[in-house]
Amino acid sequence: MKNSLQSGFTLIETLIVAALILVLAGMAIPTFQNTVADARMASTQQELLRIRTAIDYYAFQHQEQLPGFDGQQWSESEFRSQLLLSTDELGASAAPGTPNFPYGPYLTEAIPANPYNSLDSILVLSSSSEFGGPDDSTGWVWFTTTGVFKANTAEETPNGNPIFDL
């Protein structure tokens, strides 16, 4: 007589283990997705705070004149150079360390990309500009008449509030 002790798992045991793994994965995936959404929102809030602080500090040092104005018109390139380079009291910009340009730079790194659409471009809206709402066409929106800087995205927070309202 042959003694056949078999080792291994039965089909039932394998199915039970597979079912348990699926249940655990079903519980973990939504939690992971919420964590990613929370991290993206926190990153956006941090970038907005950093840029808004730079705008406020620029205005403080330039008799409440907001960045982005070259004396004749508002532009994205002027906004960038006034925050990323050194400036004089009139807002003209030059490389950091240039004599007679004692202010700034207000940001030590480039304008960050919007975490929701990976764009770093800025839609600069002057008093005559129209804005139809967030559309992800640029990374950011700069409202020059009010001094408000916002993320240009139609995405929502995990709570359902518009990211644009952060």
Residue bearing tokens 């991290």: 39
pLDDT tens digits, one per residue of 45-65: 999 999 999 999 999 999 999
* Alpha-carbon separation of residue 115 from 52, 133, 152, 155 (angstroms): 16, 18, 10, 11
DSSP bridge partners of 86: 94
SS3 state of residue 124: strand
Percent of the chain surpassing pLDDT 90: 70
What are residue 143's phi and psi, to 5 degrees? Answer: -90, 105
Closest CA to 142 of 60, 48, 64, 59: 48
The confidence score (pLDDT) of residue 23 equals 86
Q: How far apart are CA 116 and CA 136, in angstroms?
A: 8
Q: Would you give per-residue pLDDT tens digits along the chain (166 residues)?
A: 555 566 777 888 888 989 888 888 777 676 666 778 889 999 999 999 999 999 999 999 999 999 999 989 999 999 999 999 999 999 999 999 999 999 999 999 999 999 999 999 999 998 766 888 999 999 999 999 999 999 999 999 888 999 999 9
Q: How far apart are CA 82 and CA 63, in angstroms?
A: 14
The confidence score (pLDDT) of residue 118 equals 97
Q: Residue 114 in contact with residue 44, Cβ under 8 Å? A: yes
The confidence score (pLDDT) of residue 164 equals 96
Q: pTM surpassing 0.85?
A: no
The confidence score (pLDDT) of residue 2 equals 55
HSE-CB at 155 with a 13 A cutoff on CA atoms is 21
Q: How far apart are CA 96 and CA 98, in angstroms?
A: 6
pLDDT tens digits, one per residue of 123-136: 999 876 688 899 99
Question: End-to-end alpha-carbon separation of the chain, Å?
Answer: 78
